[in-house]
Amino acid sequence: MRRLPPILLPALALPLIAWAPLPDFWITQLNYIGLYSLTCLGLVLLTGVGGLTSFGQAAFVGIGAYTTAWLTLNTGLSPWLTLFIGLALTGIAALVVGGITLRMSGHYLPLATIAWGLSLYYLMGNLDALGKYNGLLGLRSLSVGAFNIGQGRAFFLLTWVLLLAGVWALLNLLDSRPGRAIRALRNGSQMAEAMGISTLRYKVTIFVIAALFASLAGWLLAHFQRTVNPSAFGLKMGIEYLFMTVVGGVGHVWGAVVGAALVKLLDDYLQVALPALIGTSGSYEVIVFGVALVLVLKYLPDGLWSMVVRWLPRRPRAVDWQQANPLPARSRPAAGESVLEVDRIRKQFGGLVAVNDISFEIQAGQIVGLIGPNGAGKSTTFNLITGVLAKTAGTVRFRGEDISALPSRAISRKGMARTFQHVKMIPDMTVLENVALGTHTRGSNGVAGAMLRLNRAEERRLLQEAQRQLERIGMGDYLHELAGNLAMGPQRLMEIARALCSDPALLLLDEPAAGLRHKEKQALAQVLRQLQGEGMSILLVEHDMDLVMDVCDQLVVMEFGTLLTRGTPAEVQQNPAVRAAYLGTEH
């Protein structure tokens, strides 16, 4: 059975509302709610999904509003044209602001957006051409031919159709290759970059998209109110937009609408009720909102929509990729060809030499074990090879090419995939979606195509690959489970499937058997041997000596950052220095 798109129901409700015998007052309220929701929609993507907090969205609303106001008043251009000029200006502004601020980490970004919001507010308020703090008056209503659609019910339909289109586009985006990359941003950049994802690019992208939503809202607002002035675009509104989004459910697309509605209605009510209660006039609602924001963040951090989601049945996604064409495979190195040459790599953390001039080599089809006591420098060695950490010295060659200076993203694109000692995943994505992150470099569909759902053919191929790798590793039953619900063992297997999705020539596994049960370890050994049979080369860090001795062709033993010895498992087992190292620390 074909499933109906979830956007259908609200879409059908729109005309019913527009022609219902509602008082005009409520239509006006709905118009404002629709306008605010548009801006909040961008914030859901930016803050809720991407984890980037912005207090500056109102400023982007202002750019959209002022552009159309000034141009329609001074040049006579049609508002339908000035919309696109406004979007273009907003896009450029967001690119510049985002390009500078998104490199900042932690609390610098919200602070930078506050500065940005404030400066644009004062700019709008001080430019003669923009009417200073009085703003610009006497804008035209929007019309199509002689038909005025700028007010009342017609405007309601216009705004809410645009809003629903935005919701639809965002839902599409989040369920796509770029969408998964965006959802991975919040959990730090290391894993995403290791999957070949340029995190900065996606951060800038969602910053621009959020700004464009705000700009569209500004264009609508300007022609709806027929006047613009800076007060609607200042920091107070910026905070209010964020508040709406957080209350509604910052991670949920529909939360934008719920939050906007609630805050708008509450705002109106409090503006009347509070001064009456207190006896003097003033903007007391701001205080209530401040307190409410703290309470929501503390007791309902996922917002109101998360409570609705709990009541909705969770439907497993429809599997429509069974017939898709498999993705093309990378050329494999010939047996015996050198895949990895590590030459005297070194890492110092201050005075500590974590990796001390380590050298070794991996040939195609080999499984090489990197072993040593805790703290020996194995994970750091992984990070140096995969470009997660910068080397203090030394070179790494991958398939004959010097990759020493490349970032992890570029190395991953060349066909080197890894897992992490501490599993790095997106807990609120399904297992299938997490694993599909590994296919990122094998697809090319972008944000616009995803929003318009033009990406489905490629999506099917990517998801089919993800399912194939999960089944290969014995996790075919977990496709639609949330990754956060998995036990430790399956989480590690999921990471291996994710790494395999990039079709690597070299696989680096950091303690894949930790937390696995005996049966799972046997299955893992089986998978490793099978991969080896297919020509895969593997570098394995592992504490389970049975597994290591069982599957590895060569061992590299480290202690205190230094190479202790190299050789076959049998040779290493006989080595008195190795025995001493292990007896000294493991007992």
- Where on the chain is the footprint of Mg ion (CB under 5 A)? 378-379, 421
Residue with tokens 């031919």: 145
Q: Which stretch binds ligand ADP (CB under 6 A): 8-16, 18-26, 207-215, 373-381?
A: 373-381
Q: Which amino acid is at 488?
A: M
Query: Are residues 230 and 217 in contact, defined by beta-carbon separation less than 8 angstroms?
Result: no
Per-residue x/- marks for ligand ADP, 317-356, CB under 6 A?
Answer: --------------------------------x--x-x--
CA distance 175 to 4: 16
* Residue 354 binds: one of ligand ADP, Mg ion, none (C-beta under 5 to 8 A by kind): ligand ADP
CA distance 339 to 333: 7
188 is a contact residue toward ligand ADP (CB under 6 A): no
159 is a contact residue toward ligand ADP (CB under 6 A): no
In eight-state DSSP terms, residue 2 is P
Query: Are residues 509 and 551 in contact, defined by beta-carbon separation less than 8 angstroms?
Result: no
Residues that bind ligand ADP (rule: CB under 6 A) add up to a total of: 11
Minimum distance from residue 380 beta carbon to ligand ADP (Å)? 3
375 is a contact residue toward ligand ADP (CB under 6 A): yes
In eight-state DSSP terms, residue 377 is S
Among 68, 101, 229, 380, binds ligand ADP (CB under 6 A): 380
Looking at the Cβ atoms of 378 and 414, the one nearer to Mg ion is: 378
Looking at the Cβ atoms of 99 and 394, the one nearer to ligand ADP is: 394
Among 176, 379, 434, 554, binds ligand ADP (CB under 6 A): 379
Among 270, 376, 423, 536, binds ligand ADP (CB under 6 A): 376
Q: Which stretch binds ligand ADP (CB under 6 A): 8-16, 96-104, 337-345, 378-386?
A: 378-386
Percent of residues in the chain assigned helix, strand, coil, to nearest 5: 60, 10, 30
Residue with tokens 């949330």: 482
Q: Which stretch binds ligand ADP (CB under 6 A): 13-21, 217-225, 313-321, 369-377?
A: 369-377
Query: Are residues 222 and 64 in contact, defined by beta-carbon separation less than 8 angstroms?
Result: yes
Looking at the Cβ atoms of 328 and 350, the one nearer to ligand ADP is: 350
Instruction: Kindly give the pairing relationship between strand 554-559 and strand 367-371.
Output: parallel
Looking at the Cβ atoms of 418 and 461, the one nearer to ligand ADP is: 418
512 is a contact residue toward ligand ADP (CB under 6 A): no
Looking at the Cβ atoms of 279 and 350, the one nearer to ligand ADP is: 350
Q: Is 226 left (phi over 0), alpha (psi -120 to 50) or beta?
A: left
Residue with tokens 């985006």: 173
* Residue 28 binds: one of ligand ADP, Mg ion, none (C-beta under 5 to 8 A by kind): none
Residue with tokens 């990759």: 403
Looking at the Cβ atoms of 380 and 441, the one nearer to Mg ion is: 380
Give CA 496 to chain center in angstroms: 21
Residue with tokens 């990895």: 340
Long-range CB contacts for residues 407-410, cutoff 8 Å, separation at least 24: 407/193, 408/190, 408/193, 408/194, 409/193, 409/194, 409/196, 409/197, 409/198
Helix axes 253-278, 152-174, angle to 10 degrees: 130
Looking at the Cβ atoms of 204 and 548, the one nearer to ligand ADP is: 548
Minimum distance from residue 273 beta carbon to ligand ADP (Å)? 54
Nearest-CB residue for Mg ion: 379
CA nearest neighbour of 230 among 120, 102, 344, 374: 120
377 is a contact residue toward ligand ADP (CB under 6 A): yes
What is the binding site for ligand ADP (CB under 6 A)? Answer: 349, 352, 354, 372, 374-380
